[in-house]
């Protein structure tokens, strides 16, 4: 196959090529594959890296001598808070360690803002006629479905390689007090892999907002999930916000879901003194304390933040080849055809694939019929509405390498077939 842009081919050449690629697709279907690239789940080999957790903790006392089997300690085990503080580049006094899910913590914060308002809210958000959030797109589907569930309207801004477009954000928040917040995945964003630069972070923390209680949900789910030797540091959201006079603007979230066990790790939040006290006060009505046995288990397993960093290099060894396989398959079939663009992420869990406008849903259907499950087209947009029908999120970590290779070779065929169908229609 040549790598002339398909748009430059004559009608006859396109028709001939369609016949060839259809044959490739039929052969793909014949193979009866059953492969799944839908969700960013760790592979079984990654989970195995943390199996020692199953025999921990060996003690049931924390450093201060508190019995972790009992109630109490609402803000989490201090020694685990220290590890998260080091990893997130914040002061330990800002950190709360909770249950297994950071998404749950985001939901708690959001529902508390709706029911009660934040420390600087004129009234609970539920009493506002309309509440809107700025959503960088493409973004994380569960952020958007959570907002939809809670009746929060979504306004989109483009994601750039340096983070959310700050000019677009500024325009939305400056004069409209109903715009109460925004979501950011600052490091190795889901799904584009973009890393929010210190400059963009500084602008977002400093920009004027009409809402006095504007909140940035700084979801640093992939802070330490590097795929290369360049182990970049996330921008200092809390420090930048405090320095520009908006200490309560960011609330930072993270978890060990993709460090230890996705279903049995530890989540953490970090925020200003006022936000933290506000959160713990709300939480105090809902819980007596977190699972400190699990906290201690994680402390014993890692020792310190460098233990986490060393552990993440083992993850990298397992998953970097899968990301390379995605890149190879896409480049091998699609480079130069002018029908697809994709990211080569330096961390995180996803590859963002943009196909020919108007063909993403068709690609996903073709793949499904060939036994390859992809995340539904449009998932990375509010209400699953990708206005260009071009975006597909690929998640290569869960299947074994050979399956990633087979699935991605198949996806590349589907991308080309859908494009040819459109160009010959």
Which is nearer to ligand PMP, 252 or 412 (by Cβ)? 252
Ranges of beta strands (E only) in 325-423 are 340-342, 351-355, 372-373, 391-394
User: Near ligand PMP by CB under 6 A, which window of 99-107, 118-126, 224-232, 412-420?
Assistant: 99-107
Nearest CA to 40 out of 326, 301, 237, 232 is that of 326
As measured in angstroms, the least distance from the Cβ of 260 to ligand PMP is 11
Which is nearer to ligand PMP, 25 or 302 (by Cβ)? 302
Q: How many other C-beta atoms can be found within 10 angstroms of the C-beta atom of residue 38?
A: 16
Q: Is 219 in the site for ligand PMP (CB under 6 A)?
A: yes
Which contiguous run of DSSP H or E holds residue 179?
A: strand 179-184
Q: How many other C-beta atoms can be found within 10 angstroms of the C-beta atom of residue 68?
A: 21
Which contiguous run of DSSP H or E holds residue 218?
A: strand 215-219
The structure tokens 């989490």 sit at 76
Q: What is the largest CA-CA distance in the chain?
A: 79
Q: Which residues 6+ apart lie within 8 Å of 337 measured at CB?
A: 3, 4, 5, 6, 416, 419
> Which of 88, 90, 221, 325 forms a contact with ligand PMP (CB under 6 A)?
221
Q: Which residues 6+ apart lie within 8 Å of 171 measured at CB?
A: none
> Which of 40, 73, 98, 193 forms a contact with ligand PMP (CB under 6 A)?
40
Which is nearer to ligand PMP, 6 or 83 (by Cβ)? 83
User: Near ligand PMP by CB under 6 A, which window of 98-106, 129-137, 150-158, 331-339?
Assistant: 98-106
CA distance 85 to 81: 6
Site for ligand PMP in 107-166 (CB under 6 A): 140
Q: Is 412 in the site for ligand PMP (CB under 6 A)?
A: no
Contact 257, 266 (CB under 8 A): no
Site for ligand PMP in 259-318 (CB under 6 A): 267
Q: Which residues 6+ apart lie within 8 Å of 12 measured at CB?
A: none
As measured in angstroms, the least distance from the Cβ of 138 to ligand PMP is 12
> Which of 46, 190, 192, 397 forms a contact with ligand PMP (CB under 6 A)?
190
Which is nearer to ligand PMP, 40 or 247 (by Cβ)? 40
> Which of 68, 134, 135, 185 forms a contact with ligand PMP (CB under 6 A)?
185
Q: Is 103 in the site for ligand PMP (CB under 6 A)?
A: yes
As measured in angstroms, the least distance from the Cβ of 30 to ligand PMP is 33
Which is nearer to ligand PMP, 117 or 191 (by Cβ)? 191
Q: Is 80 in the site for ligand PMP (CB under 6 A)?
A: no
User: Near ligand PMP by CB under 6 A, which window of 7-15, 50-58, 80-88, 101-109?
Assistant: 101-109
- Number of chain residues interacting with ligand PMP (CB under 6 A): 12
As measured in angstroms, the least distance from the Cβ of 49 to ligand PMP is 17
> Which of 255, 275, 343, 375 forms a contact with ligand PMP (CB under 6 A)?
255
Q: Is 102 in the site for ligand PMP (CB under 6 A)?
A: yes
Burial of 288 (0-12, 13-18, 19+ CB in 10 A): exposed
Nearest CA to 76 out of 276, 304, 310 is that of 276
User: Near ligand PMP by CB under 6 A, which window of 76-84, 100-108, 162-170, 353-361?
Assistant: 100-108
Residue 138 Cα distances to 193, 194, 274, 344, angstroms: 11, 11, 32, 16
As measured in angstroms, the least distance from the Cβ of 350 to ligand PMP is 8
CA distance 291 to 136: 33
Q: Is 394 in the site for ligand PMP (CB under 6 A)?
A: no
Contact 45, 318 (CB under 8 A): yes
| Cis bond before residue 191 (omega within 30° of 0) | yes
Nearest CA to 424 out of 12, 1, 4 is that of 12
Which is nearer to ligand PMP, 21 or 106 (by Cβ)? 106
As measured in angstroms, the least distance from the Cβ of 66 to ligand PMP is 25
Burial of 183 (0-12, 13-18, 19+ CB in 10 A): buried
Which is nearer to ligand PMP, 190 or 391 (by Cβ)? 190
Nearest CA to 380 out of 38, 105, 5, 19 is that of 38
Q: Is 28 in the site for ligand PMP (CB under 6 A)?
A: no
Q: Is 98 in the site for ligand PMP (CB under 6 A)?
A: no
Residues engaged in binding ligand PMP (CB under 6 A): 40, 101-103, 140, 185, 190, 219, 221, 255, 257, 267
């Amino acid at each position: 196959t040549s790598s002339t842009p398909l748009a430059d081919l004559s009608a006859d050449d396109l028709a001939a090529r369609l016949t060839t690629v259809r044959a490739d697709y039929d052969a793909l279907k014949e193979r009866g594959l059953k492969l799944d690239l839908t969700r960013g789940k760790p592979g079984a080999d990654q989970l195995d890296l943390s199996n020692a957790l199953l025999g921990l903790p060996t003690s049931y006392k924390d450093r201060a001598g508190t019995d972790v089997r009992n109630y109490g300690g609402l803000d989490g085990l201090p020694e685990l808070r220290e590890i998260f503080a080091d990893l997130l580049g914040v002061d330990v006094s800002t950190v709360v360690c909770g249950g297994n899910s950071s998404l749950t913590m985001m939901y708690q914060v959001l529902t508390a803002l709706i029911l009660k308002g934040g420390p600087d809210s004129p009234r609970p958000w539920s009493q506002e006629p309309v509440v809107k959030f700025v959503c960088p797109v493409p973004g994380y589907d569960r952020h958007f479905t959570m907002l939809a569930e809670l009746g929060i309207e979504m306004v989109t801004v483009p994601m750039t390689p340096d983070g959310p477009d700050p000019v677009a954000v500024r325009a939305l928040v400056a004069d409209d007090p109903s715009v109460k917040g925004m979501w950011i995945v600052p490091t190795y964003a889901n799904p584009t892999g973009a890393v929010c630069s210190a400059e963009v972070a500084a602008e977002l923390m400093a920009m004027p907002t009409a809402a006095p209680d504007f909140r940035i949900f700084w979801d640093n789910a992939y802070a330490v999930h590097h795929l290369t030797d360049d182990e970049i540091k996330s921008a200092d959201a809390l420090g930048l916000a405090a320095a520009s006079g908006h200490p309560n603007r960011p609330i930072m979230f993270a978890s060990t879901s993709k460090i230890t066990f996705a279903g049995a790790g530890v989540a953490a939040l970090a925020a200003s003194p006022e936000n933290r006290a506000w959160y713990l006060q709300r939480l105090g009505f809902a819980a007596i304390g977190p699972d400190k046995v699990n906290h201690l288990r994680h402390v014993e397993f890692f020792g310190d933040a460098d233990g986490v960093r060393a552990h993440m290099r083992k993850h990298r060894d397992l998953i970097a080849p899968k990301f390379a396989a995605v890149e190879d398959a896409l480049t091998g079939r699609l480079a130069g055809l002018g029908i697809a663009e994709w990211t080569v992420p330096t961390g995180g869990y996803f590859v963002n694939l943009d196909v020919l406008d108007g063909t993403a849903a068709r690609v996903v259907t073709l793949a499904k019929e060939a036994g390859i499950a992809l995340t539904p087209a449009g998932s990375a947009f509010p209400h699953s509405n990708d206005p260009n029908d071009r975006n597909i999120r690929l998640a290569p970590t869960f299947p074994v390498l050979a399956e990633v290779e087979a699935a991605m070779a198949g996806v590349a065929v589907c991308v080309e077939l859908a494009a040819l169908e459109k160009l010959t229609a």
